[in-house]
Structure 1
Amino acid sequence: MLELKTPREIEAMHVTGVFIAELLDDLASRAEPGVNLLELEHRARQLITERGAQSCYWDYAPSFGRGPFRNVICLSVNDAVLHGLPHDYVLRDADLLSMDIAVSIDGWVADSARSVIVGVPRPEDERLIEATERALAAGIAAALPGNRLGDISAAIGAVAADYGYPVNTEFGGHGLGRTMHEDPHVSNMGRAGRGLKLKPGLTLALEPWLAAGTDKIIYDDDGWTIRSADGSRTAHSEHTIAVTDSAPLVLTCQDHVAAPE
């Protein structure tokens, strides 16, 4: 069931989104060679507690996981791209780190992911991250009233194709609002003009993620961390957005302009 949000509810989600943007800024500034992933996890916990927010990840237990997730952020390194379980790993120069987090404030959820390079970057990793960011921007631009869900998916997939990267469709974006996962599912590849018609008030998390060499994935023994099947590097970008009567609103950044009452 789709739940369309009012302008006031969208603004409440933006409050959560701004906090997430600030949290990811903080963690990105700390992601340096010699820093342990557990330090980033503990910093995220500290910021969430200080803000009075609630983690959407803690005790999350979907069908694909192994037991409840007992962390507040996903931290995925190099060939790991989704659901990375924070663990005792010290970041190294040129590591590619993807950070994904969802929290709730006053009952309203926002979800965002960002990939950063630790230390001195490799050009091929910069290109991979750029592809996810441009795919995300293209998906957001397609989130117009009257368009179809397939228009978003097609826009994301077209950018990946332009860069020459394959697209996995097992995991993608999703609706959200009162909970972290709501209808609809948003594939990172699709056909324009197909699917659900977009209406004002629809809130979505768009999240293109790519592996440099494959669309196949494997799971770590922890039952959570998803890696590229060929060991190639990966990147992940995500924003929470709202469809409005005009341009889409990005809720997980600080320069959002509120929808009119």
Structure 2
Amino acid sequence: LGPFHTVYDDKGYAYTSMFLDSAVARWTLGGPYASKHPEQPWTLVQKLPVQYNIGHIAAAEGDTASPDGQYVVALDKWSIDRFANVGPLMPQNFQLVDISQTGDKMQVLYDMPIGMAEPHYAQIIKAEKLKPWQVYPEIGWNPETQSVDPNAVKAGSEKIVRNGNNVEIWMSVIRSHYTPDLVELNKGDHVVWHLTSLERTPDATHGFAIPGYNINLSLEPGESQTVEFDADKDGTFPFYCTDFCSA
């Protein structure tokens, strides 16, 4: 009951999520795929219970011309009794299912609690296909434009420029220090604040927060960002890094 979504493997099987049954159904394909499995085409081979109320389902590279055929993940909406209860709000449950063998040999390998809203679709690819940067290619990188930002700050070029009520700040960020580390504004100023992380160390992420103005940025190694606001309050407002480092 309640078939929702279907994904595929490399052995001529399809896998359908069964919401009301809380199960993953494995069934055979026909046509050019019939020779890949030992069963009759268009036959239900196994219905594996999952915990609980599966919605979406993801197969490793299951949306490609050459599916991996080793695993599917059941994106279950309920977990109920699978984890220690810490209150009324329970996690969603992602279950790793081994589909490497033919026939009725599917089995659940692992439960993973997910602390977010109802799980929807996911993609799974082989890790060796990922070629991520550890740090951005150049200091001052803008992830949106995939290029060096025109307002990127280099070490030694930090500055504050006032033009009437408009104040523009070019600040560098590196472990334990902002440059400049003191900014004086007048009430009513319009502020454009450019920040560039000078870090080249992988995972050395820095934050920049001005709680009084609800500003909270995260700067990855080499990243440049700009924030803009009106200084419409009197007082002294600290800015600080929200990521602990250099301790």
Q: Is this a same-fold pair by TM over 0.5?
A: no
Greater RCO, 1 or 2 (C-alpha within 8 Å, sep 6+): 1
- Structure 1 or 2: larger helix share? 1
- Structure 1 or 2: larger strand share? 2
Length-normalised TM-score, structure 1:
0.20
